[in-house]
Amino acid sequence: MADETSLQKRESEAIEPERMRQGPVFVPHVDIVEESDKLLVFADMPGVKTQDLDINYERGLLTIYGRVAPRQDPEHVRHVRREYEVGDFYRSFRIGEGIDSGKITAEMSQGVLTLNLPKSEKARPRRIEVKAS
């Protein structure tokens, strides 16, 4: 993988999400796939609806934040056993200069967020023609 196009999560530079409400915040698991012309990021975010996603890019930092509504009103439910926890999702990545940030796109389908991060022309691999002299 080219260093310029890689996504790097730097714990020391991570920006914590602004807490808007009570409850846990989960770090979504991701797969990052490199193709010749782009990087694809697949993030598991079950329960997040498209309208509850905030994806931002600013000064080389890509942030993903998804809100999940509770399944029941905790004041009106008496759990016999509770193992499933609902919370928001947050993750941030430092993006190298080789990504064309103006062309980043996102799609949400069945709880999986797909981010398409196209490489800039200068970062794409190219074949060099050799001329005979």
CATH number, domain containing residue 57: 2.60.40.790
Q: Position of tokens 């398409």?
A: 116
Quickly state the pLDDT bin for 1 (edges 50, 70, 90).
Answer: very low
Q: Is residue 89 part of a domain?
A: yes
- Nearest Cα neighbor of 123 from 83, 82, 95, 90 is 95
Residue 35 maps to a domain: yes
Examine the pLDDT at 37 and tell me if it is beyond 50. Answer: yes
Task: Report yes or no on 127 lying in a domain.
Answer: no
Residue 130 within any structural domain of the chain: no
Please count the other Cβ atoms lying within 10 Å of the Cβ belonging to residue 61.
15
Strand partners, 107: 114
Strand-strand pairing, 61-66 and 88-95: antiparallel
- Within a domain: residue 15? no
- Residue 30: inside a domain: yes
Asked if pLDDT for residue 109 goes beyond 70, the answer is: yes
Quick check: is 28 in a domain? yes
Q: What integer pLDDT is reported at residue 24 of this predicted model? A: 86
Q: Are 68 and 26 in contact (CB under 8 A)?
A: no
Residue 93 banded pLDDT, cuts 50, 70, 90: very high
Tell me how far apart the alpha carbons of residues 13 and 96 are, in angstroms, rounded to a whole number: 14
57 belongs to a structural domain: yes
Q: Work out the average pLDDT over 51-75.
A: 88
Q: Give yes or no for residue 3 having a pLDDT over 50.
A: no
The domain tally of the chain equals 1
**Structural domain span for residue 95:** 3-10+23-72+81-121
Res 73: pLDDT: 77
Judge if pTM exceeds 0.95: no
